[in-house]
Every structure is written in structure tokens, then in C-alpha cells.
Structure 1
Amino acid sequence: MALDFAAGCLGGVAGVLVGHPFDTVKVRLQVQNSNQPRYHGTIHCFRSILKQESVWGFYKGIGSPMMGLTFINAIVFGVQGNAMRHLGRDTPLNQFLAGAAAGGIQCVICCPMELAKTRMQLQGMGEYQVKSRVYKNSLDCLVRIYRKHGIRGINKGMVTTIVRELPGFGFYFLTYDCLTRALNCELDDSFIIPKLLFAGGMSGIVSWLSTYPVDVIKSRLQADGVGGINQYSGIMDCVRQSYRKEGLQVFARGLTSTLLRAFPVNAATFATVTMFLMYSRADEACKPQEAAPTIQQPSSL
């Protein structure tokens, strides 16, 4: 358990460092004003942030996911492992159920963390009236929200986070288990690293594709009210308004950036976790439950 915890933390750090710029682009695209879009697509958003805010603009809000890594990975690895032992048999269905359980429970940390990350990432966007630095850092963001809105405020978007994470983590662990078995990961295989990178990357992509529309709604709800005006009264109101104004394509807003992020993030996370376990427990390094990484978005993963 201790090795799983340490490996998960290291893998999570690697995943956040690789994927946070893509996540910043994803959130900006998801929540921008459709009537007067600031960005015309993923590439334009990347270029605009780099030109206007420098490379550090991509890492706005990174403190929040970094702060939550230890707790999230401990929860995910602990719950998933215990759930598999409780379920008994190592079957595809049990892999999905154990992953879903882990994803659901870690929402307690994930939701406030992503709320702070989203608010930090929106600083500098004129349509959200946050051209200046409203929050000093992610912790300051959560403290300010708590003082103004209490526990309910820092858990804004919790329902959509749970709806996203349950199937998301389920599909992630299921895909990872299936791919590692199909690829016959063995410690003495000279191609084990490319195999692990591929398995981790593809697992992340499958996970995001399974829940992405929910993530769009979650981002919009968590961004709502930043400028002092609330547009949505709830989840279904957000869905209706978003669909009415922008059509079905709104639920794929930022998907390109997310998928570009999903593969390297989860590949890096998986490789880091596995390499750590390979050196720590060479005889157990390739077991799915020992080497499985978590998702940054999302997410996360």
C-alpha cells in the first residue's frame, strides 16, 4: 500500500506537469462566450495564451491539482485495491466497479480542487471580468470562496463531478487492464516501456471520451458567477441553455485539447508509476492493480 501511494504521487506529479497546459486551453475553450469567442480553436488558444501571458499562462491554477495529488492518489489506489480484494475475482466487470468506486470517493477532494483550478485559469479573460489577479493562488481562491459561500460554495459542481468520475474511472481501469493483458506486459520485454506508454495513453483517451459532455457542463457551472452574474440555475438549465445557444457541438467544446492532453498525461503517469514499482518490486511491477495510474484531468486524469 505504501509503495502504491508513493508511486501514485510521483505519477500524478508527472501527469500534471505534462498536461496542465492542455487543461488550461480546454477550460478556456469550454467556457468562452459563444457570441464573441476569444479563441477560434485549440491552436489559436495555445498561441494567444503564449503571446499574451507567456508560457506561465499555461500553468495558471496548477497549485490546486498539485495540492490535491497526495490525497487523490491515496484515495484512488487505496479504494481501488480494497474494492478489488472485496470483490474477489479479477474480472473486467470488477475492474470497472472498483475503478468507479475509487472515482466516486475521490470527488471529495477533486471537486474543490477543480473549482479552484478553473477559477485560476479564467483570470485574464475579459468576459469573466477577471482581467486582474483576483486570487493569489489556488488556496487563496478556495478560502475566498468558502468565506463568501461556505461549504456549498467550494463544492460547486459536485454532482457533475461525481457523474463524470464514476464511469470515467471505471472505463480507465477497465481499459488499462484489458490493454496490459493484450500487450502481454512482461518485465523482461525490451518493448515494455512503449507498451506501458501506449496502454496508459489510450486508457486516458477512452476515459475522457466516455464522459466528456459532462465535463463541459461541470466547467461551465464552476465558472458561473465569476463575474458576479449567475447564468444557470442548475445542471439541466445549463444543459438547456448551452444546447439552445450553440447546438450539440457545445458538448465537444475543447475536446481536441483534452485528447491531445489525455495521451501524454496518462502515458507519463503510467510510465512513472510503473518504473517506480519496477525498481521497488520487480516481481510485481506489471500487475494491473499495482501499476495502474490515476486520470489529471478528469481529469485528473
Structure 2
Amino acid sequence: MVESSPFLDSAKEISFGSVSGIAGKLFEYPFDTVKVRLQSQPDGLPLHFSGPFDCFRQTWQNEGISGFYRGLASPLVGAAAENASLFVSYEASKNGIRSLMYPAYSQSDRLPIQALLVCGAASGAFTSFILTPIELIKCKMQVQSLSLYDSLLARSSPTAPTIHSSQASTILKRNIATSAHQLPGAFDLVLQVYRESGIAGFWRGQLGTLFRETGGSAAWFGAYEFASSLFRSRKVNAGGNAEQGISQIEAMLSGACAGIAYNISLFPADSVKSRMQTESIISSSGPQLGFWSVAKSMYQNGGIKVLYRGCGMTVARAAPSSAIIFLVYENLKVRL
């Protein structure tokens, strides 16, 4: 048997986390696009969308299936980097806290849930610095067509049929489809951010990502570990061996719990972050505000409701997405 090494273990965690992250992102990306578009709607103006279903409908009618996957390349890289970083730093945190606070525990012993929550928070804090630049470009690409829609609508002749008529909708959809190919790509947006704000510009919204990932990752790993421990305890009580691990269904159920816990925990921080990262696309007027100023403005204009815009749909898609991530991760870990 080949002995394990820290380098080999880290390489495996990176590989497993990357593959599982990509699998989850392919499933959830259309829902993430809708979430970002809902979060990015400016205050004090008529809303583009009345809710998630209206956003789905308008995106499909105006842009087709490609509208839901606008900017997919960046988040695929981001999903691989995010999950690889999360799982690697989570395992590293567990090893560190085990040696510092639980020296009597072996590698096979499971740490107390409070220790796992700390490890999850540490891994999320570390990952947030990797994730913010990737999410910045992703969010900008996801809302580009909204400004394009407004621009084309503003140029429409006042004597033309209303936008709600079938003919006008068909013309607008055709114009959007044609103009969408001329929108800046990910590389163009990277250059634009660098020209306008320098290197620091890529970490716009970092505080929101830090809050979301620190609390969210603690909830994500904590919920998964807690749910899976319940399944293991039930197996032991039934006379089985807990070391055999959990079943495929149990891994998916535990992962679903993790996804729900992650998104419920600090969703307002994600809403503020998305608004900060897309304001230059949606509304180019005014100075760029900081995290607390944007949060205060959102609350004053829309109350607590605006901070949870898109939360229900996000939680609904997070459950199957996280189920896929942990299912793929656990299977890779057992088989390779």
C-alpha cells in the first residue's frame, strides 16, 4: 500500500474539490444568473423583474438558453478554485486544530462539531480572497444584457408598437441576440477593471464575500458534518460499522442540508456584494460606495426585503447543487 503524504493528500483534495465544484456549477448556474440579476436591480427605479419566475421568463424570451449561461467560463474556473480551496483549507484547518487543541485525537477520530465550525469558517475566510475577483467578472457578465435591454428600449421609437406587443417583443429579442455578441467578454472586463481601478479593483466587494464565506462555510461544512454524523450514529445503533461511511443517498441529503444552511446564514452580505460588483454596469452614475454605505442605501430604499431578494430561489437550487458537490467529492475520495 502506498503511504499517504501531505503533498499527495493536498493534490487529491484540490482535484476532488475542483471536479465536484464544476459538477455543481453546471447545474446551478442558470439559477445563479437569475439571483444576481434580481440582486442587482437598482433602488428607486421600476424593477426589471417582479420575481424569480418573471426573471426566468424574460431571460428566456429575450436571450434564450444562452442568456442563462452568460459568462459561464469564469464561474467554472471559480467553482473549481473555490471548492478546491475550501476542501484543502478545511482539511488543513482540521489538522491544525487537531494538533493544537486535540492532540489525543487520531487522524481517524472526528473532531467535535464546534471545532469543525471553526475550521469551516477559517476555510471560508481564506477562500474569499480567491473568490472575489472571479465573482466580480462573473456578476458583471451576468447583468450586461440588462443595460443592453434598457439601451435598446430607450432607442425605440415612441410611435412603434409597445414593448408588450408580440411584434415589438420579437424585434427586441432579435436586437438583443445580435447585440449580445458584441458585449465585452471576460478578458475585456478584466482589462477594463484594471484600467479603471488597478489591482485593488478586482477585490471590490471583498468584505461582503468575506462575511458570506466565513459564516456560510462554517454553516456549510457544519451542517454536512452534523447531518452525516446523524446517519453514522443511526448505523451504529442498528449494529453497523460507522467506519464504512455513509451511503450515496445519505451523502446527498447531508449535502442538501449544507447548501440550505450556507445560503440562509448570510444571504444579505451576498446581496450587498452583488450590488457593489454590478453597479458600474447597471448604473454608471455616482461614486463607488463601500460595503456599509451600500447596505444602508439598500435597506433605506427597500427594507429588509431587498437584502433577501432572490433568496428563496437560491436556497431551492443550493440544496441539489450542494448534494451533487458532496456526492461527487465523497465518491472520488473513496474510489481514488
Task: Please indicate the TM-score interval, normalised by the length of the shorter structure.
Answer: 0.7 to 0.9
Is it true that 1:21 corresponds to 2:76 in the alignment?
Answer: no
Q: CA deviation at 1:128?
A: 8.6
Q: CA deviation at 1:233?
A: 2.2
Amino acid at match of 1:164: R
Alignment partner, residue 298 of structure 2: 242
- Residue 224 of structure 1: SS of its match in structure 2? helix
- Residue 248 of structure 2: SS of its match in structure 1? helix
Out of 215, 222, 225, the position equivalent to 1:174 is 222
Is it true that 1:110 corresponds to 2:131 in the alignment?
Answer: yes
Amino acid at match of 2:330: T
- Report if aligned partners of 1:122, 1:130 keep a CA contact under 8 Å in 2: no
Worse-matched range after superposition: 97-106 or 235-244:
235-244
Out of 307, 316, 323, the position equivalent to 1:267 is 323
Amino acid at match of 2:251: L
Whole-Å separation in 1 of the counterparts to 2:122 and 2:253: 25
The change in CA–CA distance for 1:249 and 1:138 in structure 2 (over 3 A counts) is same
Whole-Å separation in 2 of the counterparts to 1:80 and 1:130: 45
Whole-Å separation in 2 of the counterparts to 1:242 and 1:55: 31
Whole-Å separation in 2 of the counterparts to 1:237 and 1:128: 28
Whole-Å separation in 1 of the counterparts to 2:83 and 2:42: 34
The change in CA–CA distance for 1:188 and 1:37 in structure 2 (over 3 A counts) is same
- Report if aligned partners of 1:213, 1:251 keep a CA contact under 8 Å in 2: yes
Whole-Å separation in 2 of the counterparts to 1:60 and 1:49: 11
- Could you tell me which runs of 5 or more consecutive residues in structure 1 were left unpaired when the two chains were aligned: 281-301
The change in CA–CA distance for 1:43 and 1:141 in structure 2 (over 3 A counts) is same
Whole-Å separation in 2 of the counterparts to 1:253 and 1:54: 23
Out of 4, 8, 24, the position equivalent to 2:17 is 8
Is it true that 1:200 corresponds to 2:255 in the alignment?
Answer: yes
Alignment partner, residue 30 of structure 1: 39
Whole-Å separation in 2 of the counterparts to 1:219 and 1:128: 19
Out of 180, 189, 195, the position equivalent to 1:141 is 189
Q: Give CA-to-partner distance per residue, 1:224-260, whole Å, 9 cap, x none.
A: 2224223652222212211121111111101122112
Whole-Å separation in 2 of the counterparts to 1:79 and 1:148: 33
Alignment partner, residue 280 of structure 2: 225
- Could you tell me which runs of 5 or more consecutive residues in structure 2 were left unpaired when the two chains were aligned: 1-8, 103-110, 153-178, 236-241
Amino acid at match of 2:25: V
Q: CA deviation at 1:137?
A: 2.7
Alignment partner, residue 60 of structure 1: 70
Whole-Å separation in 1 of the counterparts to 2:286 and 2:277: 10
The change in CA–CA distance for 1:224 and 1:113 in structure 2 (over 3 A counts) is same
Paired residue total: 279
Identity %: 29
Amino acid at match of 1:155: W
Out of 57, 63, 67, the position equivalent to 1:47 is 57
Q: CA deviation at 1:103?
A: 0.8
Worse-matched range after superposition: 162-171 or 30-39:
30-39
Name the larger-Rg structure: 2
Q: Give CA-to-partner distance per residue, 1:154-195, whole Å, 9 cap, x none.
A: 111011111111111111111111100101276868x82221
Alignment partner, residue 153 of structure 1: 201
Whole-Å separation in 1 of the counterparts to 2:117 and 2:199: 31
Whole-Å separation in 1 of the counterparts to 2:68 and 2:286: 26
Whole-Å separation in 1 of the counterparts to 2:20 and 2:276: 29
Whole-Å separation in 2 of the counterparts to 1:163 and 1:55: 32
- TM-score normalised according to structure 1 size: 0.86
The within-5 A match list for 1:117-132 is 117-126=138-147, 132=179
- Residue 95 of structure 1: SS of its match in structure 2? helix
